[in-house]
Chain A
């Protein structure tokens, strides 16, 4: 075998077409979760965690972040494991890549909503690296897998200075790029409970094109038969890209539980979703457009879920 070649990369100026590089940092790949905690506590804000790097490296290239230490956590035990148990539900290691997640038979069979949300992200080759864990931890309001996590009542399991703790997805997002993770903590897996019997779900993403743009609006709707509800059904709604964090819409959920479901009531629920949205103007769309799209797409997703429920019932 040849000896390792020299360490020095030629200076960019000597290259015909240098690739724009990342700013310098130290790459660390610990094999013990407690070592990750120690490194995070030691380096504080100058350390960043790495899974697929599809957010991290883009932000570093843009100059938005310049960590001194990049800690790769995807090789830690369990981080890339996926398992399903009919009594316990689905456990997804934080570093399971999106293609593996969408292709898992248990996901296709029992959590098609999750597969839909994942398939809406970027491109196949980006999803070879991108992870759902990274999507949630990045803390973007536009995270496409967040609405599915919210309506499926996912739990985020984290490891930190005090060992393991669980944060419901519904409490995980605190603001733009702000999650409930405390100093020294990192996400190890997502747990999805067994979904309600007879449920139907739908994720609709509006992007500027079909080619994996970030969502202008993302809408997830899940519905299931429930005898204790006056309407005989319960629904869950979640929205992406229309508030500082991905959000649930409890107003719409209450509305559809309390009275018999009619076409008019479905419209009222879509209106409640529009009311709950507090979007901003940005290059992907105006606030006014986004609000209108929340109503339209919520209605469309809801109709689809309702039709699925009728067909099954």
Chain B
């Protein structure tokens, strides 16, 4: 089985690793790097629980190979807070109870982060559209939308 030597940055730190061809980015993050904030929900691109930023854009890590991240920059939920301080978007989810069981939350925060990066002033429809690929079975979504709107207003 082929192995690949990959060099990448993960949450700002430069790393390298040897990976076999068929290991997904999701499995690599969770099982090799111990970054279990990224969740495995469906493993088929439907639920968004595995969403991470790859070169600044959100992707479903269950449908990316670890071998494909050679030279890339990866940000997971573990990379949002800095120096022990939650970023404003995360704080807004707490303030609005935008999270209940929490399983969907890492993926939603990454999708929302990506949205605010490309559009700092989104409409409600923009937010719904950006989160279309993230399923939540608990909150009913409205609190999530409120949290993202609030974070956007606060410049987050």
**Number of chain B interface residues as a range:** 35 or more
Count how many chain A residues have C-beta atoms less than 8 Å from C-beta atoms of the other chain.
Answer: 42
Q: Which residue of B lies closest to A72 (CB)?
A: B68
Contact partners of A54 in chain B: CB under 8 A: 45, 60, 63
A19–B132 touching, CB < 8 Å: no
A5–B40 touching, CB < 8 Å: no
A293: CB under 8 A from chain B? no
Contact partners of A23 in chain B: CB under 8 A: 22
Interface stretch among B2-10, B78-86, B148-156? B2-10
A125–B48 touching, CB < 8 Å: yes
Contact mask A129-151 → B, CB, 8 Å, 1/0?
10000000000000000000000
A18–B51 touching, CB < 8 Å: no
A124–B18 touching, CB < 8 Å: no
Cα A128 to Cα B53 with chains together (Å): 10
Q: Which of B21, B59, B63, B65 has the most chain A CB within a 10 Å cutoff?
A: B63
Residues of chain A from 66 to 90 with CB closer than 8 A to chain B in the complex: 70, 72
Residues of chain B from 49 to 72 with CB closer than 8 A to chain A in the complex: 51, 54, 57-60, 62-65, 67-68
Residues of chain B from 83 to 135 with CB closer than 8 A to chain A in the complex: 111, 114-115, 129-130, 132-134
CB distance from B90 to the nearest CB of A (A): 19
Cα A210 to Cα B125 with chains together (Å): 12
B59–A128 touching, CB < 8 Å: yes
B43: CB under 8 A from chain A? yes
Interchain residue pairs with CB less than 8 A apart (30): A5-B18, A5-B32, A17-B36, A18-B31, A19-B26, A19-B62, A20-B40, A21-B22, A21-B27, A22-B22, A23-B22, A24-B21, A25-B22, A26-B21, A27-B2, A27-B21, A27-B67, A27-B68, A52-B63, A57-B63, A124-B58, A124-B130, A124-B132, A124-B133, A125-B133, A126-B63, A126-B133, A128-B59, A129-B64, A211-B133
